[in-house]
Amino acid sequence: MVVFSHPEFRDHEEVRFLHDARSGLRAVIAIHSTLLGPALGGCRMWPYASEAEALSDALRLSWAMTLKAAMAGLRLGGGKSVILGDPKRDKTPELLRAFGREVERMGGRYYTGEDVGMSPEDMAVAGEATRYVLGKPGQGSSGDPSPFTARGVLAGIEVAVRHRLGRGELCGLKVAVQGLGHVGMALCALLHERGARLWVADLDRDKVADARRRFGAEVVPPERVQALDVDVFSPCALGGVLNAETIPELGCRVVAGSANNQLATPADGRRLHERGILYAPDYVINAGGLINIAQELHPEGYDRARALAALEVIPRRLQAVFRRAEAEGRPPAEVADAMAAEMLSAAARSRAA
C-alpha cells in the first residue's frame, strides 16, 4: 500500500497503522500538521470496502482538519483516525480501549473525539486508556458536538443566502437536506424554527418519518435530493456528493451543509462556480463541532457560553471567503484553500523566526 505517493498525501507528518489482535482493532491515525498546535480530529468507525479506502479517508479528513482549525482561528493542527469495522457489529469496549492505548502512546500530538460510527459514550470508554480524548459525556466536557455543528451551518446558510439570494431571513426558504444524522436532524430543527420549507432524504425510514412528523418535511428518495428545485442544497451525510455526475443535476443556487469532503475532487469546486452555484466550503461552515470541543483545552476549562460565542467566527470567515472569491472571480473552495494556506505559511515563518 502506497503512502507518500498516495493522491491524498499532502505532506502529512505522520501516518500510523494500528493492529491489536486480541480486540480486533484495525485502524489508521493520520496527522497532517501540528504547525499551529496539537492535531485534533475525531475517530470514525466505518465498514470500509478496503484498507486502501480507509487510508484515503484518513489522509483526506486529516488534511481537511488542518484547514478547518486554521480557518476557525484555533491553535490546533489537523488529524483523524479511522477504525475499520462495522460499528453496529464490531465495536467492543476492548477495541475502544485498545484504540485509546494507541492514542496515549502518541503523547499528546493527537487528540481525538467522536465522529461517524462513534458516540461520546464510546469516547468515554476509549478515555479509560488515554488522556487525549475530548467530547466525553459528563460535567466539564463539551459532550455531543452535533448541536454546535448545526448552529454553525445555520449561520453559514444565512450568510450564503444573503450573499447569493439577497435574502435577510430564512422564512419560506426552500432547503433540501441530505442525511438526517445528529447534525442533519438538528439543522432541520433550526431551519424549521425559522420558517424554512424542508425536503429531506435518508436511507433510514424512521428518521425521514420523524422529520416529516416534526417539521412537515417532504420526503424524497436519496438519489433525487440533489436535483430538487430549491434555494439551498445541504449535504449532511458522507463526502464526495458533489462530483462530475451530480453537479449538472443540481437545482439549487447555494450548497451549504455539514458533510466533510463534499467535493469529490478540487475540480468540482470550479464546476459549481461555472454553474453559478455558491458553495460554502465544508471545512469552514461545519467547524462548529471542532470549535466547541476545542474549548475543553482552554486554560479555564470548558464553558458552553464561550463555545457559543466562538461560533461567530464561522459567518465572519465565510463572508470573507465569498467577498474575496467575488472580487477575484474564483471559486470559494479555491479561495478558502488559499486563505488557509496563507495562515499556515505565516505560522511557519513565525516559527522559523
Question: pLDDT tens digits for the chain (353 residues)?
Answer: 789 999 999 999 999 999 999 999 999 999 999 999 999 999 999 999 999 999 999 999 999 999 999 999 999 999 999 999 999 999 999 999 999 999 999 999 999 999 889 998 999 999 999 999 999 988 778 878 889 999 999 999 999 999 999 998 999 999 999 999 999 999 999 999 999 999 999 999 999 999 999 999 999 999 999 999 999 999 999 888 999 999 999 999 999 999 989 999 999 999 999 999 999 999 999 999 999 999 999 999 999 999 999 999 999 999 999 999 999 999 999 999 999 999 999 988 888 77
Distance of CA 344 to the CA centre of its chain: 20
Closest CA to 111 of 137, 75, 60: 75
Phi, psi of 334 (to 5 degrees): -70, -40
CA–CA distance, 174 with 220 (Å, rounded to integer): 14
Residue-level pLDDT at 231? 98
Q: In what order do the strands lie in the sheet with 174-178?
A: 218-219, 197-201, 174-178, 232-235, 254-255, 278-279
Q: Cα(196)–Cα(264) distance, rounded to whole angstroms?
A: 28
**Could you report the per-residue pLDDT of 157-175, keeping only the tens digit for each?**
999 999 999 998 999 999 9
**pLDDT at residue 265 in the model:** 93
pLDDT of residue 78: 97
In angstroms, the CA 72 to CA 12 distance is 20
Local structure of 290: helix, strand or coil: helix
For 304, phi and psi rounded to 5 degrees? -65, -40
At 281 the pLDDT is 98
**DSSP helix/strand/coil, 59:** helix
Same-fold call for 14-61+76-126 versus 146-287+315-341: yes
Q: How many CB atoms lie within 10 A of CB 253?
A: 17
Active site residues: 80
Fold of the 146-287+315-341 domain: Rossmann fold (3.40.50)
* Residue 122, C-alpha cell as written in the block: 464510546
Q: What is the pLDDT of residue 59?
A: 97
Domain chopping of the chain, boundaries = 14-61+76-126, 146-287+315-341
Instruction: Name the DSSP class of 112.
Output: B
CATH topology of domain 14-61+76-126: Rossmann fold (3.40.50)
- The predicted pLDDT at position 214 comes to 98
**Residue position matching grid coordinates 493527537:** 110
What are the backbone angles phi and psi of residue 299, rounded to the nearest 5°? -55, -30
Q: Cα separation of 133 and 300, whole Å?
A: 18
Which ranges in the chain belong to alpha helices (H)? 51-71, 93-105, 120-126, 146-165, 182-193, 205-215, 267-274, 282-285, 288-294, 304-310, 313-328, 332-352
Largest Cα separation within the chain, whole Å, is 59
pLDDT at 322: 98
Rounded to whole angstroms, how far apart are CA atoms 20 and 118? 19
| pLDDT for 145 | 85
Q: Among 94, 97, 62, 98, which residue's Cα sits nearest to residue 80? A: 62
